[in-house]
Chains A and B, each alone.
Chain A
Amino acid sequence: MSTENNWKEICHIDAIVPNAGRCALVEGEQVAIFRVSKSGNDELYAIHNHDPFSKANVLSRGIVGSLSERVVVASPIYKQHFCLQTGECLEDEATQLKTWQVRVENNMVQLSA
C-alpha cells in the first residue's frame, strides 16, 4: 500500500487539458496521466506511456473515451484501446500496462511512485 511519503508532485492540474493526457517522467519511467472530465468533475488516471504494439512512447497523445463502462485511451498509432483503470488492453487480454495511483491535492497533480 502506498503511504503519504510516496506521493510525488508532477504539475499543476491546468497543465492537463480536460479529457486529454500528458506524459510525465517519474523515476526514469514515462507515465501517461489522463484527466477525464464530465460535467466539471475530474477523474485522473495514470498508465505507462509505452505502447507495446508500436513500441513507441505515445499513449499520452491518444484520444480518451469510453467503451461500454470502461474509460479508455486509444493508441494514436494502431488504435488499440487500453483501460485507464486497469491498464488492460481491450483487444488483447494478454497485454497489460503498468498503472499508477494519481490524485489532485491543492490543484497539484500527484503520482504515487
Chain B
Amino acid sequence: MSTRLIVIGNGPVGHKFLETLVESGAAGDYEITVFGAEPRPAYDRVHLTAWFETRNADDLNMVSEGFYEDNNILIRNHEKVVAIDRANKTISSDRGLTTSYDKIILATGSFPFVPPVPGHDRDNTFVYRTIEDLEAITAASKHARVGTVVGGGLLGLEAAKAIKDLGLKTHVVEFAPRLMAVQVDDGGGAMLRGKIEQLGVSVHTGKNTQQIIDGENAAHKMCFADGEELETDLIVFSAGIRPQDELGQQAELTIGERGGIVINDHCQTSDPDIYAIGEAALWGGRIFGMIAPGNNMAVAAADHITQTGESTFSGADMSSKLKLMGVDVASVGDAHGNTPDSLSYSYINQVDGVYKKIVVDKDRKHLLGAVLVGDTGDYSNLLQFALNKMDLPEQPDSMILPSIDGGGFAMGVDALPDDAVICSCNNVTKADVVSAVAAGSVTLGDLKDTTKAATGCGGCAALTTQLLNSELTNLGYEVNTDLCEHFPYTRQDLYNIIRIEKIKSFEELLEKHGTGHGCDICKPTTASILATCWNDHILEDKHHVLQDTNDYFMANMQKDGTYSVVPRVAGGEITPDKLIVLGQVAKKYDLYTKITGGQRVDLFGARGEQLPVIWRELIDAGFESGHAYGKSLRTVKSCVGSTWCRYGVQDSVGAAIQIENRYKGLRSPHKLKMAVSGCTRECAEAQCKDVGIIATENGFNMYVCGNGGMKPRHADLFATDLDYDTLIKYIDRFFMFYIRTADRLQRTSVWMDNMEGGLEYLQSVIIEDKLGICAELESEMAHVVGTYQCEWKTTIEDPEKVKRFDHFVNSDENDSNVVFVKERQQIRPASEDERKDLIATA
C-alpha cells in the first residue's frame, strides 16, 4: 500500500521537494498530489522580475516537460487547500474536494506585508509576488506617470527597477533610515542611495506613511508622519513578507508568536505527519525568506520522509550578493556588528562609489561579517573566511583594501576545509568540486555540468575557477592548451601573434613560431584567423592548402565525395524569379533539392568539376556564396515581421537581411547562426542562436550564446530595447571578441560558460567597455565588412583556380565511383551494394 503524500504549495520550494523525492528514487512508493493556488505550475519566483524581459511566463517555468506525468504526480493548480482535518487525516479544497492523507508537506510560502494604513486598498495599489501581480502592474502603468514602491529592501528595489523600466517616474519610500536595512549598514546604505538616485529614482527614507488619499495631480496622495506628501498614480507595497501559515493555524499546529509554523530539524511540525518548508516555516525562531534555505528544508524533509538521506535543516547563512538596479551589493554574516565587542574596518571611495566594511571579533582572529556596495569582488573570499572560521591575516583590512602595486589579499583555496560551501545556491562543497575534478571535469564548463556549481547566481564562479586550477595543479595535471603538436600556443595566442606581427601566411607563421609541416588542426585554424584579420580570398594559393574539407572546394562535401551547393538567401527572402533559377539549375544538373533549417535551398550531388559551372549560372542570376561550407556566419533567420504579420512590431525581415549582409563571410572559430523575430512570439526561434534578436515596441532585445544541435542551449538576454545602430555595435563587438578569444571549434555558449564571470563579464566588456577594446573591435569588424568579396565570383573568374575542381589532373573523365539512384523523384547516393551492381552492369 503506497503512502498518500499531499504537497500543499506549488512554488519553488514545494517543487524542490518533489524533485528531491524523484531523485531519491523513492517516488514510486508514494501517491503524490500537489495543490497550487496559483493558475500555473511552479515558476522561479526568485527571478520574478525577469518576467518583464519577455513578458512570457513560460520563461520562468521550473517544471521540466513531463515531470508530473512521468513520475505519476497528480497536479491540481488553481485549487487551494482550505482545511486539514488531523483527526480523520483528510484535507479539503476550495473546489469541494476532500481526500485522505498519510503525510503532508506545507510549502505555502509567504504573502507580502501591506501596512494597514488607511487607503492601502485603493485602486491601483499592488504587491509584488506573482506573475499576475506583474501583469496587473504592467496594465496599470499604461495610464500612469508616477509610480511609488513602499519598501526599500531587496524586493522593493527590484520592483522600483521594474516600474522605472515601464517608463514611470519612480519613487521609493522606506520606513527605516536607509535602504536595504537588513543587509547593509548606514555607510553602505548611503552609497547605495547615491547610486540609485543617480539612476533617476527618488529615494525617501525614514518615511512613515499615515494615510493614502485622493491626489490633486495624480491618483493618490501619500501622507507621511513628518507632514510631507507624495503624489503618485500607482503604489506597489513591498514592505516585507509574512509566513502563509493560515492552514497551520486552522489545523492547530504550533505557530510562532509572530507567525510561522514551528518545525524541527527534519522540518516536522508539531504533528509528525505534517512537514512545513520554505517561508511558511519557523525554525529556531526565524523565518528564512531566501531560496537557498528553502531548498535545504525541502531536501531535509524529503530525506526524512523517504529515509533515503540524512540531511537535516540546521539554519542557514543569510549572506547574499546581488545586483540591484545595476549596483553590486553584498552582505556577509553579522553585517551590522551586533556581536558584543566586535570591531570593524571600513573603506570608502566616493570617486568610484565603493563602500566596504568588515566586522571582526575582538581578537581580530575571525571574520564575523561584511558589507560591500559598488564592488563585490571580495565577496567569495570574505564569505569563506566567515563560514569556515578561518584565521584572518595579520592586518584584516588588507582583505578589502584595493590592491595597489599588486598588493591586496587573496586567499589560497588550499586553505579551505573540505566541507567549505563553494556554491551556496546549489550547496556544492569544496569536496564535491575536488572529486569532480578528479573524475575528469577539467574546465569550468564541465564543472558546471557535473556539480552545478556557479550555475545559480554565479557569484562563486571566480572561486570555483581558482579551486579548479589549484586542483588540476595538485593532481599533477599539466594543462596542455597547445593547439596541436606544431604550435605550443592556444588559438587565442595565435590570433594575437598573427595580428601583432602582421603575419600573412601559414608558412610565415610556421617558420617563426611552429615546427613540422602543420596538420589538419592548425592549418584550418590559421586559415580562419588569417581570414578574420586580413580577409584575403581563401583560395589564394598560400591559403588554399590550409582549408578544411568544405572550404577547400567552397561547398559541403557529402559522404560520397560529391558536394552540395547553398547560395545565400539573406533573411530567407527570395523572389519568384530567383527561386525559378534555383529550380532550373537543380533540374539541369540533376541535383537533389532540399529546404534547409536556415531558410534557404540546398542542392546536393554536384561533382567537384561541376561546381564552377553551377556557380557561374547562379552568379549570373544574382546569387552569391552562402558560406554554408565555412566556419562562418551561416544565416540570419527571420519571421515575416510587422510588414505582413498582425502581431509584428518591427520589420524583422528587413533587419535580418541587413544583418546577414553585414556579417556574411565572417570567419570564426565555429559556425555562427542568427535570427530576428518581429515580436515576442518569437517565430524565428532566435533564442537558440549565437545571436538572437527579438523586436520589442521600443527597439530590439539582444540574446547571445544559444545553440541548437547535440546539446541545445537557450540564449541569454544580453541587452534590451536597443535601437538598430546600438544593436549592430554590440553585435560587432560580441563577434569580434568571440573570434579573438574563443578556442578552435568552441561555440559561443561554451565560450561564455568557460569565462569567469560569464554573461555579466561579457556585458561589462561589450556594453561598458571594461577592457577598453570596443573601438578596436569595431574597427576590426569594419575592415572585414569593407573587404567582403563573394568567394565564388572571384574563383570562377580565374581559369587556373577553376581547373583545380577537375577530378583528374590528367583526364577529363569523372569519378566512376559516384553513382546515384532515384528515390521520391530525386537522386540519392547509391548504397554500396547498389553501386557494385550498377558499376558491374555499366
Residues of chain A at the chain B interface (Cβ within 8 Å) = 10-11, 15-20, 22-26, 30, 33, 36, 38, 50, 54-58, 61-68, 71-72, 74, 76-77, 79, 81
Q: In the complex, are the beta carbons of A65 and B549 less than 8 A apart?
A: no
Given A56-B561, A57-B815, residue A65 in contact with residue B809 (CB < 8 A): no
Confirm or deny: B524 has a beta carbon within 8 angstroms of a beta carbon on chain A: yes
Q: Closest residue of chain A to B550, judged by CB? A: A76
Query: Could you list 29 examples of A-B contacts with CB < 8 Å?
Result: A10-B809, A11-B810, A18-B541, A18-B545, A19-B517, A22-B804, A23-B807, A23-B809, A25-B808, A33-B809, A36-B517, A55-B832, A56-B560, A57-B818, A61-B552, A61-B608, A63-B524, A63-B548, A64-B545, A65-B516, A65-B519, A65-B520, A67-B519, A74-B519, A77-B549, A77-B557, A77-B559, A77-B561, A81-B520
Given A11-B810, A66-B516, residue A54 in contact with residue B561 (CB < 8 A): yes
From A36, A38, A71, A79, give the contact of B520 (CB < 8 A).
A79
Q: In the complex, are the beta carbons of A57 and B817 less than 8 A apart?
A: yes
Cα A74 to Cα B815 with chains together (Å): 20
Q: Mark B546-587, 1 if CB is under 8 A from A, else 0.
A: 111100110001011100000000000000000000000000
Q: Mark B464-499, 1 if CB is under 8 A from A, else 0.
A: 000000000000000000000110000000000000
Cα A76 to Cα B625 with chains together (Å): 21
Residues of chain B at the chain A interface (Cβ within 8 Å) = 485-486, 516-520, 522-524, 541, 544-549, 552-553, 557, 559-561, 608, 803-804, 807-811, 813, 815, 817-818, 832
Q: In the complex, are the beta carbons of A25 and B813 less than 8 A apart?
A: yes
From B516, B548, B810, give the contact of A25 (CB < 8 A).
B810
Given A56-B817, A58-B557, A63-B524, residue A10 in contact with residue B485 (CB < 8 A): no
Q: In the complex, are the beta carbons of A63 and B541 less than 8 A apart?
A: no
Cα A97 to Cα B581 with chains together (Å): 43
Given A20-B544, A56-B559, A67-B519, residue A76 in contact with residue B809 (CB < 8 A): no
Q: In the complex, are the beta carbons of B552 and A22 less than 8 A apart?
A: no
The interface residues of chain A lying within 8 Å CB-to-CB of B547 are 63
Q: Which of B608, B810, B817 is packed against the most chain A CB atoms within 10 Å?
A: B810
Q: How far is the CB of B108 from chain A (nearest CB, A)?
A: 58
Cα A81 to Cα B486 with chains together (Å): 16
Q: In the complex, are the beta carbons of A10 and B523 less than 8 A apart?
A: no
Q: In the complex, are the beta carbons of A20 and B813 less than 8 A apart?
A: no
The 6 closest A-B pairs by CB, nearest first: A65-B519, A56-B561, A74-B520, A76-B549, A66-B517, A66-B516
Q: How far is the CB of A62 from chain B (nearest CB, A)?
A: 7
A57-B818, A63-B523, A63-B524 known, 8 other contacts, Cβ within 8 Å = A15-B803, A17-B541, A18-B541, A22-B804, A30-B815, A50-B817, A61-B549, A66-B517
The interface residues of chain B lying within 8 Å CB-to-CB of A55 are 817, 832
Q: In the complex, are the beta carbons of B813 and A63 less than 8 A apart?
A: no
The interface residues of chain A lying within 8 Å CB-to-CB of B523 are 63, 65
The interface residues of chain B lying within 8 Å CB-to-CB of A22 are 804, 809
Q: In the complex, are the beta carbons of A63 and B809 less than 8 A apart?
A: no
Q: How far is the CB of A100 from chain B (nearest CB, A)?
A: 13
The interface residues of chain A lying within 8 Å CB-to-CB of B519 are 63, 65-67, 72, 74
Q: In the complex, are the beta carbons of B545 and A67 less than 8 A apart?
A: no
Given A25-B811, A76-B549, residue A67 in contact with residue B485 (CB < 8 A): yes
Q: In the complex, are the beta carbons of A65 and B517 less than 8 A apart?
A: yes
Given A17-B544, A76-B549, A77-B557, residue A66 in contact with residue B518 (CB < 8 A): yes
Cα A16 to Cα B519 with chains together (Å): 19
Cα A64 to Cα B517 with chains together (Å): 8
Cα A50 to Cα B818 with chains together (Å): 12
Q: In the complex, are the beta carbons of A71 and B546 less than 8 A apart?
A: no
Q: Closest residue of chain A to B549, judged by CB? A: A76
Q: In the complex, are the beta carbons of B518 and A65 less than 8 A apart?
A: yes
Q: How far is the CB of A59 from chain B (nearest CB, A)?
A: 10
Given A55-B832, A56-B559, A57-B815, residue A24 in contact with residue B810 (CB < 8 A): yes
Q: Which of B518, B545, B809, B811 is packed against the most chain A CB atoms within 10 Å?
A: B809
Q: How far is the CB of B413 from chain A (nearest CB, A)?
A: 38
The interface residues of chain A lying within 8 Å CB-to-CB of B815 are 30, 57
Q: How far is the CB of A21 from chain B (nearest CB, A)?
A: 9
From A11, A24, A63, A68, give the contact of B485 (CB < 8 A).
A68
Q: Closest residue of chain B to A54, judged by CB? A: B559
The interface residues of chain A lying within 8 Å CB-to-CB of B486 are 65-66
Cα A62 to Cα B549 with chains together (Å): 7
Cα A64 to Cα B808 with chains together (Å): 18
Q: In the complex, are the beta carbons of A63 and B545 less than 8 A apart?
A: yes
Q: How far is the CB of A28 from chain B (nearest CB, A)?
A: 9
Q: Closest residue of chain B to A55, judged by CB? A: B832
Q: In the complex, are the beta carbons of B808 and A62 less than 8 A apart?
A: no
Cα A80 to Cα B561 with chains together (Å): 15
Q: How far is the CB of A42 from chain B (nearest CB, A)?
A: 13
Q: How far is the CB of A48 from chain B (nearest CB, A)?
A: 12
Given A10-B810, A25-B813, A55-B832, residue A63 in contact with residue B520 (CB < 8 A): yes
Q: In the complex, are the beta carbons of A16 and B544 less than 8 A apart?
A: no
The interface residues of chain A lying within 8 Å CB-to-CB of B541 are 17-18
Q: In the complex, are the beta carbons of B545 and A20 less than 8 A apart?
A: yes
Cα A107 to Cα B717 with chains together (Å): 61
The interface residues of chain B lying within 8 Å CB-to-CB of A74 are 519-520
Q: Closest residue of chain A to B811, judged by CB? A: A25
The interface residues of chain B lying within 8 Å CB-to-CB of A30 are 808, 815, 817
The interface residues of chain A lying within 8 Å CB-to-CB of B545 are 17-20, 63-64
